[in-house]
Amino acid sequence: MAAPADANANVEQKVLQYESFINDVLRGDLQRVLDQRDGVYEKISQYLQLKNTIQRVQESGSQQLKTDVDLGCNFYVQAEVDNSSMIFVAVGYGFFVEMTHDEALRFIDKKTKQLTVFTEQLTKDSAKIKANIRMVLEGLRELQGLTELPDSRRREVL
């Protein structure tokens, strides 16, 4: 009689370990990857916004530029730039490089391509983590002797 109770206790212990692994490790990893991907998308957005601004300045044909500058905490002041032929572009790691408009546009194209490749890799990583979560959940289902859920009740793992 003691053997079935021990087996059930062992199964319950394994189930708790797998659930803990899913919640503590896999879901945390998934959230970190998705947050990192969102940060990269934000950088891409900023570079594309800069590209649009440079193109508008080039189309205007004027070297003078009037703009609002954020001093921090959404406190804006008006600024006038006498010569906007050169701009400073953030190239990474806190460094800014002075570039002409054409140099900046070429840099932005290369940088956005690089960041896009990185987001694709992060998307693949998130898919792998989701697959691992699904695999562990299927293992739990088998361990507990549950039947498979019908397709209509399945949902994406997050």
- Residue-level pLDDT at 49: 94
Range 46-62 burial, b when 16+ CB lie within 10 A, else e:
ebeebbeebeebeeeee
**Averaged confidence pLDDT in the chain:** 86
| Residue with tokens 């391509």, as numbered in its chain | 113
**Higher-confidence position of 90 and 143:** 90
Task: Please report, for residues 20, 101, 137, 139, the alpha-carbon distance to residue 8 in angstroms, rounded to integers and kept in the order given.
Answer: 18, 70, 19, 16
Segment among 71-75, 91-95, 136-140, 142-146 with least mean pLDDT: 142-146
Check pLDDT > 50 for residue 129. Answer: yes
| Residue with tokens 């006498």, as numbered in its chain | 82
Backbone angles phi, psi at 147, to 5 degrees: -80, 160
Helix (H) or strand (E) holding 114: helix 101-144
> Residues 36-66: pLDDT tens digits?
999 999 999 999 999 999 999 889 888 888 8
**Helix, coil or strand: residue 28:** helix
Q: How far apart are the first and last CA of the chain?
A: 41
Q: Which domains does the chain have, with CATH numbers?
A: 10-145 (1.10.287.370)
Helix (H) or strand (E) holding 73: none
Check pLDDT > 80 for residue 150. Answer: no
> Residues 72-102: pLDDT tens digits?
899 999 999 888 889 999 998 999 999 999 9
Check pLDDT > 80 for residue 148. Answer: no
Token pair for residue 128? Answer: 């792998």
**Higher-confidence position of 154 and 133:** 133
0.85 surpassed by pTM? no
